[in-house]
Amino acid sequence: MQMKKVLVLTVAVLGLMSCKSQYEILLNSNDADLKYEAAFEYYNNRKYSKAAAMFESLSVLTTGTERDDTVQYYWGLSNYRFRDYYTAETNFDHFLEYFPRSPFAPEARFLRLDCLYRSTLRYELDQNPTYKAMNAISEYIQEYPNSVHMDACTLMLEDLEERLDTKAYEAARLYYKMEDYIASRVAFRNVLKDDAENIYREDILYYIAMSSYKYAQLSVHQKQKERYMVFVDDYLNFKGEYPESAYCRELDLLYRRAQRALGRYEGEETAKVTRKLDKEIKKSEKDSGKKEKTASDL
Residue 274 lies in a domain: yes
Residue 111 lies in a domain: no
Closest CA to 75 of 35, 23, 106: 35
Rg (CA), the chain: 37
Residue 55 lies in a domain: no
Residue 7 lies in a domain: no
Closest CA to 70 of 47, 104, 43, 27: 104
Query: What pLDDT score was predicted for residue 74?
Result: 98
Structural domain boundaries enclosing 201: 179-285
Closest CA to 54 of 85, 25, 81: 25
Name the burial class of residue 27, with classes exposed (0-12), middle (13-18) and buried (19+) by CB atoms within 10 angstroms of its CB: middle
Query: What pLDDT score was predicted for residue 298?
Result: 43
Query: What pLDDT score was predicted for residue 12?
Result: 40
CA distance linking residue 138 with residue 24, whole number of Å: 42
Q: How many domains does the chain have?
A: 1
The answer to whether the CB of 230 falls within 8 A of the CB of 216 is yes
pLDDT along the chain (298 residues), means of 10: 41 46 84 93 96 95 94 98 97 96 96 97 95 96 94 97 97 97 97 96 98 95 93 97 97 95 70 51 57 48
Query: What pLDDT score was predicted for residue 4?
Result: 41
Residue 107, SS3 per DSSP = helix
Residue 191 lies in a domain: yes
Residue 35, SS3 per DSSP = helix
Residue 122 lies in a domain: no
Closest CA to 118 of 82, 150, 146: 82
Query: What pLDDT score was predicted for residue 7?
Result: 37
CA distance linking residue 198 with residue 219, whole number of Å: 30
Q: Side chain identity at 150, as an amino acid letter?
A: M
CA distance linking residue 84 with residue 96, whole number of Å: 18
Q: Side chain identity at 130, as an amino acid letter?
A: T
Query: What pLDDT score was predicted for residue 286?
Result: 64
Residue 235 lies in a domain: yes
Query: What pLDDT score was predicted for residue 128?
Result: 96
CATH code (residue 208):
1.25.40.10
The answer to whether the CB of 248 falls within 8 A of the CB of 205 is no
